[in-house]
Amino acid sequence: MVEHSGPGPFSGEAWARNAVAYETIRSMPFNAELAAGTLRQDRFRHYIVQDAHYLVGFGRALSLAAAKAPDPDGIVQFSAAAQEAIVVERALHGGFFRDYGIGPETFAATPLTPACDHYVNYLLATAYAEPFPVVCAALLPCFWIYKEVGDDIFARAQPDNPYRAWIDTYAGADFAEAVAAMIAATDRAAEDVTAGQRARMHHAFTQATRLEWMFWDSAYRDAAWPL
């Protein structure tokens, strides 16, 4: 296992700037009820279908980050992360899909919600148009916030929680290693940026953090397109 020293100058500052937003995410009704095991199944079903759609876009954005990585290690890291998003986490979704009777046709016929569509397109637009350090900053909140939320829920969830498979995935050692690697990669990318690029990195981190909140809030409210 690769040793990581924890958040560096950029990531530590980015997290501190968004600490209030994280606390809002941690304590929002969706995550509070998920931890208690009382989250309504239809709300989690909405979430898991949209999350499966999201991960396809997230995997594409990670692949674009791999193409922009400045060194071979970065290419390998981001390519592996894209594979992880598509293969490993899809296996987690597959278990819930079987439990809820969601087949391929139902999944394919379910459109992306406004929150999911916005988040996916934000990440893809950033991955296409922005330099590598800004792309890293936009991708980092999905890793880091899920890790922190997963750990928090794991610490207070009962063993018979119906969402235990989800909790165990994001509180697990493998995911923790991937998150630490992503934090380290983002801090390395921030080392030689200009002041303007650093400001764009912070904007990207904050924007993705907001979209994390919107994604969970949308699932809780079963939000759909108004027209």
CB within 8 Å of 64: residues ≥ 6 apart:
124, 127, 128, 135
Model confidence at 7, pLDDT cuts 50, 70, 90, reads: confident
From residue 225, give the alpha-carbon distance in Å to each of 102, 118, 166, 200.
Answer: 21, 12, 27, 30
**Least confident residue range of 16-20, 40-44, 60-64, 81-85:** 81-85
| pLDDT above 90: residue 224 | yes
Residue 203: strand, helix, or coil: helix
Model confidence at 5, pLDDT cuts 50, 70, 90, reads: low
Give the whole-angstrom CA distance, residue 10 versus residue 1.
Answer: 24
> What local confidence, expressed as pLDDT, does residue 6 receive?
65
101 conformational bin, left if phi > 0, alpha if psi -120 to 50, beta if neither: left
pLDDT tens, residue by residue, 110-129: 999 999 999 999 999 999 99
| pLDDT above 80: residue 89 | no
| pLDDT above 50: residue 1 | no
40 vs 93, more confident: 40
Token pair in block for residue 25 = 């995410």
pLDDT tens, residue by residue, 128-154: 999 999 999 999 999 999 999 999 999
> What local confidence, expressed as pLDDT, does residue 3 receive?
44
Q: Tell me how far apart the 2 most distant CA atoms of the chain are, in Å.
A: 51
pLDDT tens, residue by residue, 171-200: 888 889 999 999 999 999 999 999 999 999
> What local confidence, expressed as pLDDT, does residue 92 receive?
77
174 vs 78, more confident: 78
Give the whole-angstrom CA distance, residue 168 versus residue 101.
Answer: 22
Alpha-helical runs (H) found in the chain: 9-17, 19-27, 29-36, 41-68, 72-83, 89-100, 104-109, 114-129, 132-156, 164-170, 173-190, 195-221
Indicate the average pLDDT of the chain.
93
